[in-house]
Amino acid sequence: MATRGSRTRVGKYELGRTLGEGTFAKVKFAHNVDTGENFAIKILDKEKVLKHKMIGQIKREISTMKLIRHPNVTRMYEVMASKTKIYIVLEFVNGGELFDKIASHGRLKEDEARKYFQQLINAVDYCHSRGVFHRDLKPENLLLDANGVLKVSDFGLSAVSQQVREDGLLHTTCGTPNYVAPEVINNKGYDGAKADLWSCGVILFVLMAGYLPFEDSNLMQLYKKIFKADFNCPSWFSTSAKKLIKRILDPNPETRISISEVIGNEWFKKGYKPPVFESEDVSLADVDAIFNESGDCKNLVVEQREERPLTMNAFELISTSQGLNLSSLFEKQMGLVKRQTRFTSKCPANEIISKIEEAAMPLGFDVKKSNYKMKLQGEKTGRKGHLSIATEIFEVAPSLYMVELRKSGGDTLEFHNVWYFKLTVIGSDFLIVNVDSIIISTN
């Protein structure tokens, strides 16, 4: 493997590959050079946050993560700031998404699904006890560590109890349509705890069935199904599991089962192990300092960059896989609905960039290049806005590069079914194909 070269460094953390990104933030792999520990660092652009008036939401996310200390929730360790960026240091969870497990292996057996559901309920119940409501629970936001322990992540849409209005309800409509509770869509105010539990019920259904209880290409038809709780449990669900799911997916929040009742349910209690952890006193006094415009924040850091492809050592390459399963390092199956793919090439980095650009532009992508990275922005508006694909090149050995293509915006299914393309090397030739194996460009 290539020797680790100089790369971006923020304080005591050396930054590596991008793990994920969205409109206002990017998450990168990070290595603490003092301790040797690995982390994930969420990087936010202050200018974008201010421009879009997102200060309140970002402060809320940081406050939420500082409040939570639970074995089934990704942990936030510290926050740093520079004049232009905010850096949130998070626990690095390398077992992949629970979503990937379902996509790869299909539905789970009832006992395995129950195990994950128990961990999910433990985490959500704890969050609610601290006045925190997630509001976007779905398999993509449920991670697994190397030991298969579930970790709830992504509190970007969470709400703290101070946001509850005088009527005792939350009023912001958010979340992912297939998982969102009917009262959230109704826009008349909702109980955050009951709405989260509905999403947990949908997740349990997906784990056991391998598909969604509410699905329709027409959004209004989808909402009608949700309002009526129009779904049927598959025949392989046990009777007790069916009864519990139907009590959770009750469209009337007043009669919907509570989390405490779920925990007391006989089906839920089978093999149940309560979480073991120590509570800690957490101060939120430093949150405002992150947005200190005077620049005298005690955590002020400087980000240093180098214009070349990142080198990746053996350990970091292994960390891209789920646990120590190296078979998932590079994609070989095109049938999985995933948000990223990787492949290797012996061609020069500049040539790889050029070939991807040549193939992407006829597909209607606007291409932006910077420091061996590319951003492909779709011209057409899809179900969740414009599809955006981030591309990054890593040097893993002399004359050997790993290329990662990652959905950074838009709909995951559109990324897979419509625009998803992969670059492979056949001899010395490049072949770019879409999911239906239609040749787009060859050289």
Which residues participate in the annotated binding site?
A: 42
Per-residue pLDDT of the chain (443 residues; tens, 9 = 90+): 333 444 788 888 998 888 877 666 788 899 999 999 999 998 888 888 778 777 777 777 677 777 788 899 988 888 888 888 888 888 998 888 888 888 778 899 999 999 999 999 999 998 888 777 887 888 878 999 988 999 998 764 344 333 333 434 333 434 468 888 898 887 777 788 999 999 999 999 999 999 999 988 888 898 899 999 999 999 999 999 999 999 999 999 999 999 999 999 999 999 998 888 776 677 666 666 676 555 455 557 767 665 555 555 544 544 454 443 434 444 443 333 356 677 777 788 888 888 888 877 877 788 888 777 888 888 777 656 678 888 888 777 767 787 877 777 776 656 654 444 443 332 333 433 333 332 223 33
Question: Within 85-215, where are the H helices?
Answer: 98-105, 110-129, 182-185, 192-209
In DSSP terms, which residues pair with 342 in a beta bridge?
A: 404
The domain limits of the chain are 98-269, 330-442
pLDDT digits (tens, 9 = 90+) for 357-402: 887 787 778 888 877 788 888 877 765 667 888 888 877 776 778 7
Question: In Å, what is the CA distance from 408 to each residue of 9, 74, 268, 370?
Answer: 23, 21, 36, 16
Q: What is the Rg, in whole angstroms, of the alpha carbon atoms belonging to the chain?
A: 22
Closest CA to 185 of 145, 214, 161, 206: 214
DSSP letters, 256-320, are SPPHHHHHT-HHHHTT-------------TTTGGGG-TTS--TTB--EE--SSPEE--HHHHHTT
Homologous superfamily, domain 98-269: Transferase(Phosphotransferase) domain 1 (1.10.510.10)
Sign of CA dihedral 290, 294, 298, 302: positive
Would you say 269 and 309 are in contact if contact means Cβ atoms under 8 Å apart? no
Structure tokens at 100: 């990937």
Distance (Å, whole) CA 357 – CA 360: 5
Catalytic residue numbers, as ranges: 136
Structure tokens at 398: 């002399």
Phi and psi, residue 117, nearest 5°: -65, -40
Give me the CATH topology for the region 330-442: TATA-Binding Protein (3.30.310)
Determine the length of the chain.
443
Which residues participate in the annotated binding site for ATP?
A: 42
pTM here is: 0.66
